[in-house]
């Protein structure tokens, strides 16, 4: 039996979440609804503009959110990342460990700044992210813990790593180790901008194929170069043995390797969609790790994501997670 259900690698970012008006995005010159990489000066300017806005913070990063959700459901996860030896770095590691996730906290920490993601939530519940990677941009194979990776059921990586040469290579090397050890591989495309500007790098990360791919409808169609959903489904079959396409209020489509399954949406009043895809992936992977069918895992993922978007932030509490899980017992 494996020590860990899942081993993840991704950016370590402290999320700083603000509620803003759409006009604020125009003033700041920020593209709505996507993730944009910024330097420290640009991000500081954004935060200064928002200094009178209340904000909350938490350990984040796409894969981290998924691994933490996975842990809250009751799975055992490991997360490799890179933080600096600063206040935010120590906050991040403490938050991970308190969330029940094992991590490479024992590795040396660089001087510098831990990555930050300013998350701007508009009244339409959309999220726009401005990310300063800090030392996370130097994530490399040094942060991989091969023993933990080989002793896991699943390896999970995020598409955001494509923007850094060292991080992309770390993801590729981790997948190589996982494939050699018989560990199943999963990946999220993460964001439409990753597909738009870094498609070749994403394909390099996918390599000869993964066992499970997560994408929202825009990311999936961007990879396929098509606005036709059936054509997109056919294209994703060339990249992954199985996949899940999330469609927001329309639910999700899941390919289990034999059949295309429709996951019904759960109607809620959305407040903040930050982390919805991350939650879907974490819950879905938890279900699969427990031997559930793709239908049941998808229904759990839809329920958890629906709960998540009813409040601010990329997480729900462990107690809320367990209450959702009990409805699937």
Tell me which residue has tokens 């896991």. Answer: 152
Strands 252-255 and 240-246: antiparallel
4-326 is a CATH 3.40.1190.20 domain: yes
Element (H, E) at 77: strand 77-80
Contact between 242 and 257 under an 8 Å Cβ cutoff? The reply is yes
Q: What is the DSSP letter of 147?
A: H
Distance CA 177, CA 275 (A): 28
**Over its length of 329 residues, how does the chain's per-residue pLDDT go in tens digits?**
899 999 999 999 998 889 899 999 999 999 999 889 999 999 999 999 998 888 888 888 999 999 999 999 999 999 999 999 999 999 999 989 888 999 986 666 778 999 999 999 999 988 899 999 999 999 999 999 999 999 999 999 999 999 999 999 999 999 999 999 999 999 999 999 999 999 999 999 999 999 999 999 999 999 999 999 999 999 999 999 999 999 999 999 999 999 999 999 999 988 878 789 999 999 999 999 999 999 999 999 999 999 999 987 788 999 999 999 999 97
Buried b (16+ CB within 10 A) or exposed e, 51-80: eeeebebbbbbbbbbbbbbbbbbebbbbbb
List, in order, residues 6 or more apart from 309 with CB less than 8 Å away: 125, 268, 270, 271, 272, 273, 276
Domain ranges of the chain: 4-326
pTM above 0.85, yes or no: yes
The Cα diameter of the chain in Å comes to 54
Distance CA 272, CA 311 (A): 6
């Amino acid at each position: 039996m494996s020590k860990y259900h899942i081993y993840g690698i991704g950016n370590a970012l402290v999320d700083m979440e603000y509620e803003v008006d759409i006009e604020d995005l125009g003033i700041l010159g920020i593209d709505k609804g996507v993730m944009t990489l910024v330097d420290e000066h640009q991000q500081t300017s954004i935060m200064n503009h928002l200094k009178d806005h209340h904000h909350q913070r938490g350990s984040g990063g796409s894969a981290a959110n998924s691994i933490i959700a996975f842990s809250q459901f009751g799975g055992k996860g490991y997360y490799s990342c890179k933080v600096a030896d600063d206040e935010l770095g120590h906050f991040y590691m403490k938050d991970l460990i308190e969330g029940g996730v094992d991590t490479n906290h024992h590795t040396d920490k660089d001087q510098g700044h831990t990555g930050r993601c300013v998350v701007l939530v508009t009244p339409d519940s959309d999220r726009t992210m401005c990310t300063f990677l800090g030392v996370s941009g130097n994530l490399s194979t040094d942060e991989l813990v091969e023993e933990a990776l080989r002793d896991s059921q699943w390896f999970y990586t995020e598409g955001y790593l494509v923007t850094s040469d060292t991080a992309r290579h770390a993801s590729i090397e981790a997948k190589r180790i996982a494939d050699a050890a018989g560990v199943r591989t999963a990946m999220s495309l993460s964001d439409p901008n990753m597909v738009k500007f870094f498609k070749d790098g994403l394909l390099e990360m996918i390599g000869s194929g993964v066992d499970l791919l997560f994408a929202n409808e825009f990311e999936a169609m961007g990879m396929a170069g098509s606005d036709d959903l059936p054509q997109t489904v056919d294209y994703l079959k060339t990249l992954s043995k199985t996949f899940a396409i999330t469609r927001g209020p329309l639910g999700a489509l899941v390919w289990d390797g034999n059949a295309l399954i429709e996951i019904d949406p759960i109607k809620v009043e959305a407040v903040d969609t930050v982390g919805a895809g991350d939650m879907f992936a974490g819950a879905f992977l938890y279900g699969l790790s427990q031997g559930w069918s793709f239908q049941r895992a998808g229904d759990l993922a839809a329920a958890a994501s629906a709960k998540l978007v009813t409040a601010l932030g990329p997480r729900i509490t462990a107690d809320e997670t367990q209450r959702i899980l009990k409805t699937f017992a």
